[in-house]
Amino acid sequence: MIDYSALKKAVIDGDDERTAQLVKEAIEQHADPADIVTLGLQAGLVTVGEKFSSGEFFIPEMLLAARTVTRSLDIIRPLVSDSDMITAGKVVIGTVVGDLHDIGKNLVGMLLGGVGFDVLDLGTDVYPKRFVTAVMEHKPDILGMSALITTTMPAMEATIQALESANIRRQVKVIVGGAPVTQHFADQIGADGYCSNGGSAIELCNRLVGR
């Protein structure tokens, strides 16, 4: 049984060398990559967010922790990628306009890529129009939007409306996620699906493409 508290603490401390070392050790001990992410890296970021809310941490600490996690995800990436797989379907993914948070979106994209989806990542701060253009150009099976701030969530609805205005809403399944997003919100804005984490994103996308 691996103790993830040291990994969580290294993330909170923004110590990327220690974090990378603990991630490598966990991998050597055959830890499940999903546990490394959820119980170690993500748990650390949740605490960082709480410390930010309470005024104990400021932007620099959040940035350090984010950089630490992003670097460690690069170590985990090869473990979840399987280039020999037959393409399961195409996914266009991005973080909505006004929002620069990309760790969760990157994680979801990485996991979907790992199970055989062809993932096109539009990055962060993506305008509804940009999502629409990407759907027209690349004809994905699924469009995935991520939002981490309550004030950027309405951009998800605006994107769905933009797809409708462009007459392409029925061509693509729309999924949404991100810490403040809920199933209720997804239903309200007319999304086809919501998921709270990377694992459920795989299940949802498989279901939506009939796999």
Eight-state DSSP code of residue 114: H
Q: Point out which span in 19-27, 148-156, 159-167, 183-191 binds ligand B1M (CB under 6 A).
A: 148-156
Number of amino acids touching ligand B1M (CB under 6 A) = 39
CA–CA gap between residue 14 and residue 36 (Å, rounded): 16
Quick one: 83 exposed, middle or buried, by C-beta within 10 A (0-12, 13-18, 19+)? exposed
Residue 145 CB coordination number (10 Å): 31
Cβ closest to ligand B1M, residue 22 vs residue 205: 205
Instruction: Name which of 119, 19, 29, 129 is nearest 75 in CA terms.
Output: 19
Residues in the chain: 211
Among 177, 186, 189, 202, binds ligand B1M (CB under 6 A): 177
> Is 66 near ligand B1M (CB under 6 A)?
yes
Asked whether the beta carbons of 41 and 7 are under 8 A apart, the reply is: yes
Cβ closest to ligand B1M, residue 31 vs residue 148: 148
Among 172, 198, 202, 208, binds ligand B1M (CB under 6 A): 198
Q: Which residues bind ligand B1M (CB under 6 A)?
A: 42, 45-46, 48-49, 52-53, 59, 62-63, 65-66, 93, 98-105, 107-108, 144-146, 148-150, 175, 177-180, 195-198, 201
